[in-house]
Chain A
Amino acid sequence: MTGYKLGINGLGDVIGDIKGGTNILLIGPPMCGKNIILNNIMFQGLSDGEFAVFITTAESGENIINWFTENKKGVEDHMDQFGVIDCVSKTLGLNVGDTQTIKRVSSPVNLTGISVGITSFFEDFWMKKEIHKARMCIDSLSTMLMYSNIQTVFRFLHVHSRRIKTADAIGIYIVESGMHDEQTIVTVKQLFDGVLEIKNEEDNLFIRALGLSPKPTKWFGYEIDGAEVIVEV
């Protein structure tokens, strides 16, 4: 089976295709466009005919989908490959049910519920729609860590990073740097094969990839322009 395209121009060309079964940590400070980077990575999957499962603890499911419909032309054609697990709406007390694309989980504490949601999307896409390439993301582990302790989140990630391997899919997980102690970061990092690391130096943004190519890439400067990520090469 062929690998996965990252979907970030410039950086993607340097690291080449990503192997199935790779779990990637996307870590960086606030306000550096991590979500837009993540969304672009997920959109690449949809365009390539993969299915995409988006777990959100930050925005309602509708907001996630709106971002794509407003910013990514042609995404309408891929809605039947797209699944969102919304851990936000019910926490806010909104009385909303599931839709074709969105499954609601009671709260980010409910890791059992999130797990059931993932399984059910994977079954649906893999068995019924016969799509055998997938990318899954969690935005963000930082929120999960606010509600549950590190051991609990670690156990959850342990199970699901392995499921990503078994399915030969890729997983992308967002962490806010600066929000957690060093020990927490070190602990979760063990579970990932690669890291996309972001830094902000005097309002200049840089990104690099570790563990996704034989050697770490250099730091690439980048800018966020609307919904696009522009990497300087």
Chain B
Amino acid sequence: MIKTGIPKLDDYLNGGLPTGKSLLYYCQPGVEGDVFGMQTTYINLQQGYKSVCIATASSPDVIRGKFTEFGWPLEKFENQFEIIDAYSALIGADSSEKYVVEDPENIKNLDKVITEVIEDSSGKVIIHGSISNIIDMCGEDQALEYIENWNKYIMLYDVVGIYNFTVWPYSDKTVERIKDELFNAVIRIGGVSEHVIFGQYYSVTKADWTKAMIDSSILFKVLRPGGVKAFIPKLLVTGPFNAGKSSFVQSLSTRSVSVDRMGTTVALDIGHIDHKGFSADIFGTPGQERFDPILKLLGGEAMGVFLVIDSVKGNEFERARQMLEVTRTRGLPCVIVANKQDLPDALSIEEIKRQMEISKNIPIVPAVAKEKKGVFEAFEILIDQIMVGI
């Protein structure tokens, strides 16, 4: 068994990746995925493993330099780390690597070197490379055929394959085979986007040897030095005075505190939720206008926002919209929580939608925060909005 060295991932995989298996980091274009394979490689160099890295889009020097950037110097591991240079020939440069692929666009050349490396290894080796680069160079069908074969070798010789794949718009058939068939484990790395990608996450989508924790998403940042670090996202709860924000935060949270005075929030509500494999910190703002100047500080770095409104008070919808401006969260993924639906003169969702005059794409969820009704639905909808599928 080897560790992936990615936060929480080894727990989700019930300990890590057994030898003889292949793992794919399946990455949305634009999201920083290369670092995952490098991190797994480095952690295992430290455990005495050898690693062979296939260079397809960067020169061997640049690859070594990238490890250094992340704070993972390779000097100590010179005898354990090799590069298969399938890049230099592409740009007509010489290579001083031990393994060189003469014509990288001919997959037979690459195959020869890779199978040789695996055969020569006496176990304890990690092969690491980018599937998409190989497909780009050699064509979809050919590349997949060979990759399938390499994975057989990996099993036979009890080594480990760690691959990266950027999910460019290849044919559906190719993408499906890669996602579902060719690898023992698939870790999806995706982007959180609204107009632009502004956050990134990973989750296990497949692990065929164990009952892994599937589809639990971990948000992450990439640090230099440091590599992949998990972080807990912040969700903001805002809305007009007395709409039920504090009640919403309390109902949603596994644990929470409010700074209230005489029943109104004077600083903020803080909660934390773990629900269906997703954790988040939740911040509720005060609703009174006298607090507006501090609210923009609370909105900073939020990844999504619940806009809580009192379904009875149509005259406050204008203020509700304004709260998105005040907290500087307009444009972030947003869910409107139509609270106090238990009251007899609560407006219907249709009526609220009409009166709110807000983008049609923003979902409205009926809720009774006091009774925990609708709060988890709202949470799940917001998470779905944040985690765009790939």
Contact = CB atoms under 8 A, between A and B. Distances in A.
A110 B57 contact: yes
A158 B59 contact: no
B214 interface: no
21 contacts: A106-B58, A106-B59, A106-B62, A106-B63, A109-B56, A109-B57, A109-B58, A111-B57, A111-B136, A112-B27, A112-B133, A112-B164, A113-B58, A115-B166, A116-B30, A116-B34, A123-B196, A147-B91, A149-B136, A159-B30, A163-B196
Contact of A119 (B30, B87, B133): B30
A122 B196 contact: yes
A126 B191 CA distance: 15
Interface string B293-331: 000000000000000000000000000000000001001
A111 B136 CA distance: 10
A50 to B, nearest CB: 14
Contacts of A163: 30, 196
B195 interface: yes
A112 B132 contact: yes
A127 B32 CA distance: 17
Centre residue among B29, B91, B166, B328 by max chain A CB count within 10 A: B29
B61 interface: yes
Interface stretch (A40-48, A87-95, A192-200): A87-95
How many chain B residues sit at the interface, stated as a range, is: 35 or more
A215 interface: no
B138 to A, nearest CB: 10
Interface in B21-79: 27, 29-34, 56-59, 61-63, 65, 69
Given A113-B57, A116-B30, A149-B136, A126 B166 contact: no
A116 B32 contact: yes
A73 interface: no
Q: Can you list the 3 inter-chain pairs with the closest CB atoms, starting with the nearest?
A: A106-B58, A119-B30, A110-B57
B33 A112 contact: yes
A35 interface: no
Nearest to A127: B198
B197 interface: yes
A152 interface: yes
Contacts of B2: none
A126 B33 contact: no
Contacts of B34: 112-113, 116
B59 A123 contact: no
A46 B69 CA distance: 31
Q: Give the interface SS of chain B, mostly helix, strand, loop or mixed.
A: mixed
A206 B251 CA distance: 67
B197 A123 contact: yes
B169 interface: yes
Nearest to B191: A119
Contacts of B169: 155, 158-159
Interface string A96-131: 010000000011011111011011101100110010
Contact of A109 (B90, B164, B166, B191): B90
B59 A115 contact: no
A91 B91 contact: yes
A148 interface: yes
Contact of B59 (A93, A113, A127, A152): A93
A149 B191 CA distance: 27
Given A112-B29, A159-B29, A159-B168, A126 B196 contact: yes
A207 B31 CA distance: 37
Contacts of B209: none
A112 B34 CA distance: 9
B130 interface: yes
A166 interface: yes
A132 B195 contact: yes
Interface in B165-180: 166, 168-170
A109 B87 contact: yes
Nearest to A134: B196
A166 B196 CA distance: 7
B2 to A, nearest CB: 24
